[in-house]
Amino acid sequence: MEKTIKETVMFVVLLLLQVLLFGNIDYMGYICPYVYILFILALPIGFNIYASMGLAFLMGLFVDMFSNTPGVHIAASVVVAFSREYWFDFIMPHSDIRDVEPSLGRLGVNSFLKYTIGLVLLHHLILFFAEAWSFAGAWFTIAKALLNTIVTTLFILCYYLISKK
């Protein structure tokens, strides 16, 4: 019960931060951190994949509604929720970590950065290519995804460093 309340509060707080604060950051048209993805990344490994995709859908839906973007955040979020466990098994093939939140303290810096950067980059590539709806400016879109991945990952790291118990 306590875990459900924590996840609900995290969902609402990250959604509000994204919509009210981070959604208004637009540095030179390139950088806008998408910290709401932290909610999807922080779900326990081994969490029901359908439930995580449903929660990712809801988060993406609310971000899309407030950002006036028709479905791009939904698509990116659901793909990340689906890929999360497979990516974790790829970067940590012999790990017995299940049913715990993948955090900086539990995974270690190296594995945590692989986990986070890989999924944030996947999210941003899908998001920006869906927004562009074209591969015409592919290098620009890839550069934008890389820059946003760096910034978003830094914010996620800050969260874990600040909330470290």
Can you give the residue ranges of every domain in the chain? 2-162
Structure letter (DSSP) for residue 133: T
- Predicted local confidence at residue 17, as pLDDT: 87
138 vs 74, residue with greater confidence: 74
Using the predicted structure, report yes or no on whether residue 146 has a pLDDT greater than 80.
Answer: yes
Report d(CA 118, CA 92) in Å as an integer. 13
Give the CA radius of gyration of the chain.
15
Type and span of the H or E element at 54: helix 49-67
CA atoms 77, 80, 82, 88: torsion sign: negative
CATH of domain 2-162: 1.10.1760
Q: Encode pLDDT of 82-120 as tens digits.
A: 999 999 989 887 776 666 788 888 888 999 999 999 999
Q: Encode pLDDT of 32-78 as tens digits.
A: 899 999 999 999 888 899 999 999 999 999 999 998 888 999 999 99
